A and B are shown apart, each in its own frame.
Chain A
Amino acid sequence: MEEKRSNSAGGVGGMALFALIGFVGALVVGWGIFPKMLYSQKTQPIRFSHTVHTQLGIECEQCHHLGPDGRFAGLPSTESCAECHGEETGDTSANGKEIDKFVKDYVKTGRQVPWLVYQYQPDNVFFSHAAHKGFECTKCHLDVAKMDTPPPYYENRLSGYSKDTMKMWECERCHASMGTSNACFVCHK
């Protein structure tokens, strides 16, 4: 009987301790390890320095321009980049090597650079930059203009989307705060 009581008292305490360990462990896994498991990390095929280009006075819109209907006109093509970087430089600096890599691998082969886009929206979303041109680009986008090395690209292993792709609740929250309609057809044409 005594042993049983002792076990019972010790068991409850032990149980609580293990529950606490389980609780804390779950928090550690959930907040620390799970995100790293969920996303695979990738790097851009070319280490494009936005800083170098912005320091030359190039505006975002000069390369990331909009189509006539306000839709994002896509990333610059190899041809448009080649207008400035059409030939190998022979420069041995880090940036020079990247330029030569771009020329060798893409300009001379006529291939498009498979850039990793941080914020492509799902195909079922119609997003017009024309309707959002009052905002600064950095309100939604990473402020890459100040980055010499593009940030890592995190791809969700389950959904396949970039970690930075805006979620629907984010769109809805902004629309609500701006007094803009959140009706389905506003974004899902």
Chain B
Amino acid sequence: MGLDRRAFLGLVAGGTVGAMFTPIPWKLIDDASIWTQNWPWIPRVPKGQIDYVATTSKLCPAGEGLKIMRVAGNPILAGGNPSHPLSCGGVSALARSEVYMLYSPARIKSPMKRNGKTFAPITWEQALVEMAEKLGAAKGAVASISGDNTGTINEVLTALTAKLGSAGSFMMPSEATTAAKAMKLMGAQGQAGYDFENADTVLVLGADIFETWGTSSRNRKAFGASRPAGDKPANTYVYVGPSRNNTAAVCDQWVPAAAADLGVVALGIAWHLLKAGATSNAPGFDTFKAVVNGGFGPEDVKRATGVAPETLAAIAKALASAKAPLVVTGSPFGQGLGAAPVIAGMSLNMLLGRINKPGGVYMLPELPSVVPGALTRAAMLDGDLPAFLKGVESGKTPAPKALLIYDANPVYGLPEAATMAKALEKIPFKVSFSSFMDETAALCDLVLPNSLPLERYDDVATPYGSGFCVYSLVRPIQKPICDTKTTGDVLLGLARKLSIDLKFDNFQQVIKEKVASLAKVSGGFVAKDVMPWQVAAGKPAPALVGGDLWKALEAGYAWTMVGQAPQTAMGFAAEVVAKAVKAGKPATATVLAPYAQLRTGTPVTGMPCQDLTTVPDTELLGDTTFIRVNSETAKTLGLKKGQMVKLSGAGVDCQAKVHIFESVMPGMVSAPLGFGHTAFDYYSQGKGANYLSLAAVVEEAGSGLSMWIAPEVKIA
């Protein structure tokens, strides 16, 4: 009985049937299907101990407190810190990118020195020697630009610039610079802070408070907390601006008005308040009253802005009858607004008696300075960078011999970008302390990469818009990934090399001294069980145990203080308003109404790679960006949906596709900012156009401030 053919077939048949009663075929099919999920190129979730550490966002200007999720010590995800008053658990698209940006292809991996049209890596010691030599030779004509509104690094930068012989220390223009100018003209002390948490009627003039203006994460949380789902809202929000943007979309009412007319609308409301008997003891009230009554009646405002008299009257009535009304004024795209509209908006707060009151505007004092010889924040905000660079470009202002640029990208982030680039070309030695190869860094002689916020000590002090003084710590939670250094340390090392005494050896010492100085400030406390807006509303502030402040800040809590700078002569600055705010005829030309969004980054960060997927096809399709016009404007200009057009302004042309969008008021061309980078990585580069370059800078009458709020453009 050998193994003949039949026996073999029997063996095979039996074996096959037998196999069906074993796990072999079923398990192999199952495991093979699972195997297809594990191909080596599929990204894996890292494994290890998961923990959460606290820090604060520096990439996002809203200054949210963050909880960084780490796996085996590696940061994985940034989320909002529920214990932080500027976050309350919320996080912006930009703060969310703190972790991802660590691995951005645009990161500068080591110090670089220009070599013709390219850069060559150098050591940090070589960079310091080079800087010391060039800055020593440039003494007496060294300028600096900072893009960081909130950091103590500015004290180190401006103190060093001053000791080298300052040709000017400037802040990149933002809402903070405009507001600071307005407050100065009004004779006010301190930074305007808005108490959204305690306000019951909020009039928003232009400011995109839930997207790019001020403490946007905290603003959203305050708005949400007062409007629990299914319950009656505890307050009313009215938005006035050229488009139904992310703020207007959730407000109770959108009143279409051009950004150039925000001051006119404010004075139109003031007309109603004055008529109803509003008065003030502040200097300049009589002149202000005369200006308002002389040209801002309901019909004047309607003729100039298109806003109906009954709409203005209703807003004025709502404000006058509210217990805690608040008026917030800002640019719909976070820059370029003149000082006069802010003064006009603040005048409404004064008429309503809302200065330094719960739910109103607090004039917040500046936190103590620790670096000897540093400029105050108010002094830095007083500089007019676009005017300075335009003067350098035209030859009216002597070009500095050296320029230090920290966390700023003026070649991309300022209007008239081409002019700004030409101005920079006139400066013989430029150093960029940027983390990314941005448009400005690409023009510099030395690029000395700053470690990213998750790799360095830094801080955030009272971002513009916050209703209370607030200070939070940024601390390293991992070693620098590339050969980068904290710029504060580099500047202090440079000072030592130049035999300049700035009191500190490293930047961590500066931050520690700052925290120690805060522990001595009367009225300061750690926001933990009691939040600052509760203190503003009357709850006692808890005591601060000084020695524990550093530990509390490291744990993610914020130091806060509800207080106000003493006011001696805050007035209406009516003469500025009279010169700058005119209720003329509506503009006949096509006006650019840019809008900014945190998901498209900032000039400093470029576009975070993970945010690119959140940009809709009606904003960016392929490499082309869209402009938005409503159907009425499209008809007037002869534009069709999807049509390619050329926008011209300030001597620059930009391409765009047309998107018909009814949430833009007639006569306006709404255009997204954050696109059109020529530097950074492939996530940002070559995506659409930089529409800010179309904006021409003009000087505001009365204040002399550079403004570019409503540039006219041609469409062909």
Contacts and interface: CB of A to CB of B under 8 A. Distances in A.
A23 B15 contact: yes
Interface in B1-28: 1, 3-4, 6-19, 21-24, 27-28
A93 interface: no
Interface in A2-27: 10-12, 14-27
Interface stretch (A97-105, A134-142, A153-161, A173-181): A153-161
A73 B73 CA distance: 12
Interface in A105-123: 112, 117, 120, 122-123
B21 A27 contact: yes
B522 interface: no
Residue in A11, A15, A29, A117 whose Cβ sees the most chain B Cβ within 10 Å:
A15
Given A27-B18, A120-B47, A158-B32, A34 B1 contact: no
Interface in B61-117: 69, 71-73
Nearest to A67: B50
B23 A15 contact: no
A17 B49 CA distance: 58
Interface stretch (A47-55, A75-83, A84-92): A75-83
B44 A123 contact: yes
Residue in B7, B30, B38 whose Cβ sees the most chain A Cβ within 10 Å:
B7
A167 B12 CA distance: 32
Contacts of B52: 67-68
B118 interface: no
B10 A30 contact: no
A30 B14 contact: no
Given A27-B22, A158-B32, A123 B48 contact: no
Interface residue range, chain B: 35 or more
Contacts of B49: 73-77, 80
A38 B21 CA distance: 17
A171 B658 CA distance: 51
A17 B45 CA distance: 53
A10 B7 CA distance: 10
Contacts of B17: 19, 22-23, 26
B543 interface: no
A132 B50 CA distance: 19
B193 to A, nearest CB: 31
Contacts of A161: 34
A15 B35 contact: no
Given A74-B72, A123-B44, A159-B31, A15 B12 contact: no
A62 interface: no
Contacts of A68: 52
Interface string B232-273: 000000000000000000000000000000000000000000
Contacts of B8: 18
A31 interface: yes
A158 B398 CA distance: 72
A112 B22 contact: no
B43 to A, nearest CB: 8
A10 to B, nearest CB: 7
Nearest to B2: A14
A96 interface: no
Contacts of A22: 10-18
Contacts of B27: 34, 38
B71 A74 contact: yes
Contacts of A11: 4, 6-7
B614 interface: no
B636 interface: no
A77 B48 contact: yes
Contacts of A19: 10-11, 13-14, 17
Given A19-B13, A112-B48, A160 B35 contact: yes
A71 interface: yes
B48 A74 contact: yes
B31 A156 contact: yes
A158 B38 CA distance: 10
Contacts of A29: 19, 22, 24
B51 interface: yes
A23 B14 contact: yes
Interface string B49-60: 111100000000
A14 B18 contact: no
B37 interface: yes
A11 B27 CA distance: 35
B35 A159 contact: yes
Nearest to B19: A26
A133 B40 CA distance: 34
A122 B38 CA distance: 9
Contacts of A158: 28, 31-32, 34-35
Contacts of B48: 74-75, 77, 112
B334 to A, nearest CB: 33
A35 interface: yes
A38 to B, nearest CB: 7
A112 B72 contact: yes
B1 A16 contact: no
Contacts of A16: 10
A73 B51 contact: yes
A12 B7 CA distance: 8
Interface string B388-414: 000000000000000000000000000
Nearest to B70: A74
B31 A26 contact: no
Interface string B120-163: 00000000000000000000000000000000000000000000
A161 B27 CA distance: 13
A76 B24 CA distance: 37
Given A10-B1, A67-B52, A117 B47 contact: yes
B7 A15 contact: yes
Given A10-B1, A156-B31, A158-B28, A25 B10 contact: no
A24 B19 CA distance: 9
Given A34-B23, A159-B35, A159-B38, A20 B50 contact: no
Nearest to B43: A123
A126 to B, nearest CB: 10
Contacts of A14: 1, 4, 6-7, 10
Contacts of B73: 77
A55 to B, nearest CB: 24
Contacts of A31: 22-23
Contacts of A17: 1, 7, 10
A143 to B, nearest CB: 23
Residue in B9, B15, B19 whose Cβ sees the most chain A Cβ within 10 Å:
B15
B7 A30 contact: no
Nearest to A15: B10
A156 B31 CA distance: 8
A120 B50 CA distance: 14
Given A15-B9, A31-B22, A120-B47, A26 B15 contact: yes
A159 B15 CA distance: 26
Contacts of A112: 48, 72
A38 B4 CA distance: 32
Contacts of B30: 167
Interface in A145-172: 156, 158-161, 167
A38 B73 CA distance: 34
A71 to B, nearest CB: 7
A35 B23 contact: yes
A32 to B, nearest CB: 9
Contacts of A30: 18-19, 21-24
A151 to B, nearest CB: 20
Contacts of B3: 18
Given A74-B72, A158-B32, 20 more contacts: A11-B6, A14-B6, A17-B1, A18-B3, A19-B13, A21-B11, A21-B14, A22-B17, A22-B18, A27-B21, A30-B19, A30-B21, A30-B22, A34-B23, A67-B50, A77-B73, A120-B47, A123-B45, A158-B35, A159-B31
8 contacts: A22-B18, A23-B15, A25-B15, A29-B24, A30-B18, A31-B22, A74-B72, A156-B31
Which 6 pairs show the lowest CB-CB distances between chains A and B?
A30-B22, A26-B18, A22-B14, A19-B14, A22-B15, A15-B10
